[in-house]
Amino acid sequence: MKKITSKFAHYLYMVLAVAAVAFATTACSDDNTSDLQLTGNCTVKALALDQYEGSVDMASRTVTVRVPETYDTNEMSVSKLELSDGATADIAVGDKLNMSVAHSMRVSNGDVFLDWTIKAMRDEAKILSFKLNGTYVGTIDEAAKTISVFVPGGVDVTQLVPNITVSENATVTPQSDMPVDFTNPVQFTVENNTAKATYTVTVTKIGKPVMVFVGTAKDMSGLNAEEADACNWMVKNVPNSLYVSFDDIQNGSVDLSECKVIWWHYHKDGGVDGKAAFEKAAPEAINAAAKLRDFYNAGGAFLLTRYATNLPAFIGAVKNEGCPNNCWGGKEDSPEITGGPWNFLMNGNNSHAIYQNLVAGDDANGVYTCDTGYGITNSTAQWHIGADWGGYASKEIWENETGGKALGFGGDGAIVVWEFPAKEGKGGIICIGSGCYDWHTTVDASSDRYHKNVETMTMNAINYLMTKS
């Protein structure tokens, strides 16, 4: 190590001494106190936008301005701003703010500042969910302001307890969690500041449903978005239909003596590929398999869509007890956006009942189910056909070994729609495993030319199966 020379040491000492003096001069006054002004208060006392008074939350430093439900918040004027003594802000009375998103405001006082959040909140008066006795889920028609609830025939409708969730800050009358007599339709009024809405709730008793939607969830509120959209469509469009769980069927709590069709639309992000994977993913269905087999053997029909197409192997409907050999799927929260219309092929089955009255696309052989720009998981449960792998070298071999009849095909020849025809007193089964068959999307599909075909094809299948049970 080199020694520091005396000349260099003297120079270093002088530099440090000058720096110390400079720091002492700028940081402290003669009485040894700081010149920084740190005692200023940065409080927002009051704020209004377009004359709507805001509510000040000191803990979160947030000012919330409530406006009517349909109010235009894109350009709101600051009509009042009161701050603590001596404070200033980076906005002022008269400034126009786009309050479709939260706005940040900095309040300063001396050498102190605090950031505040200003947000506009529309008054909303909506019933977001409605359930009776914690079990029977209501179907909400927001446009018509109606709620329909279907309950088994043995339920006492004079003492049903509604479980209701409403918009933030809203109240509802009659109130949630108190018994209500639903012998006749009941009106529920939701109020939230300037917003008000009235919903009419009708409870319908179904003694013996003619059709049920079955699922692994205890009730409809436990269904995922894909399953719920399908189930809600059914209860709205098929008279005397109910949601039931596999546990309901297993323990005999639902009367299926007049039920003609059981529909299971089963979604799972990522797919369910293989018989063992299905058993692991849906143990509720496996536990109820004996009861479902009894229903099938007595002439009951099934509509099985998406990964529910595995079920026939467990109820004695598949000759070789096989399941679809090629299954996959995406995630609902990250769908694939279609680059063009999607379809599967009929290949000579155009006259089948399930394909009638569909909106036609460019290919007369195609069943179109969504248009360009649709968000889809491409959830597929199909039978690979070919000598390369999978065990079925041709469609004819597949039909002979499984006892099924192929009705729909992918572009590579895979079987994506099939039927186990009713015979020997057993009910018919329609299976739809095409990735094109999709109920829920995270994009706006209201103007989609072809998506209505999903509903039409499903209703066709239901009506067809009603005659096969």
Contact between 117 and 102 under an 8 Å Cβ cutoff? The reply is yes
pTM to 2 decimals? 0.70
- Our measurement of the distance from residue 94's CA atom to the centroid of its chain's CA atoms, rounded to an integer in Å, reads 42
What's the token pair of residue 33? 């106190």
Task: Decide: helix, strand or coil at residue 277.
Answer: helix
Q: Which amino acid is at 84?
A: S
What integer pLDDT is reported at residue 83 of this predicted model?
A: 96
Domains of the chain: 44-122 (2.60.40.2340), 127-205 (2.60.40.2340), 208-466 (3.40.50.880)
Residue-wise DSSP of 66-83: EE-TT---SSEEEEEEEE
One digit per residue, the tens of pLDDT, for the chain of length 469 reads 334 444 444 444 443 443 443 434 444 344 445 456 566 799 999 999 999 999 999 999 999 999 998 899 999 999 999 999 999 999 999 999 999 999 999 999 988 999 999 999 999 999 999 999 887 888 899 999 999 998 877 788 999 999 999 999 999 999 999 999 999 999 999 999 999 999 999 998 887 899 999 999 998 889 999 999 999 899 888 988 989 999 999 999 888 999 999 999 999 999 999 999 999 999 999 999 999 999 999 999 999 999 999 999 999 999 999 999 999 999 999 999 999 999 999 999 999 999 999 999 999 999 999 999 999 999 999 999 999 999 999 999 999 999 999 999 999 999 999 999 999 999 999 999 999 999 999 999 999 999 999 999 999 999 999 998 8
CA angle 287, 421, 396 (to 5 degrees): 105
- Across the strands, what pairs with 206? 152
Q: Which amino acid is at 19?
A: A
> How many CB atoms are closer than 10 A to CB 376?
24
Written in H, E and C, the secondary structure of 400-429 is HHHCCEEEEECCCCCEEEEEECCECCECCE
State the Cα–Cα distance between residues 141 and 442, nearest whole angstrom. 19
Nearest to 292 by CA among 404, 407, 212: 212
Q: Under 8 Å CB-to-CB from 77, ≥6 apart: which residues?
A: 49, 50, 94, 95, 96, 97
Task: Decide: helix, strand or coil at residue 199.
Answer: strand
Task: Decide: helix, strand or coil at residue 57.
Answer: strand
State the Cα–Cα distance between residues 441 and 447, nearest whole angstrom. 13
The position carrying tokens 């469609």 is 395
CA angle 422, 323, 266 (to 5 degrees): 85
Task: Decide: helix, strand or coil at residue 273.
Answer: coil
State the Cα–Cα distance between residues 380 and 324, nearest whole angstrom. 10
Beta strands in 246-402 (DSSP E): 261-266, 301-306, 326-328, 336-337, 342-345, 366-370, 375-376, 380-382
What integer pLDDT is reported at residue 36 of this predicted model?
A: 61
Nearest to 327 by CA among 378, 382, 407: 382
State the Cα–Cα distance between residues 317 and 194, nearest whole angstrom. 58
Q: How far is CA 458 from CA 91, 278, 406, 414, 422, in A?
A: 57, 23, 17, 21, 18
State the Cα–Cα distance between residues 305 and 380, nearest whole angstrom. 10
> How many CB atoms are closer than 10 A to CB 45?
13
Half-sphere exposure at residue 71, Cβ-oriented, CA atoms within 13 angstroms? 22
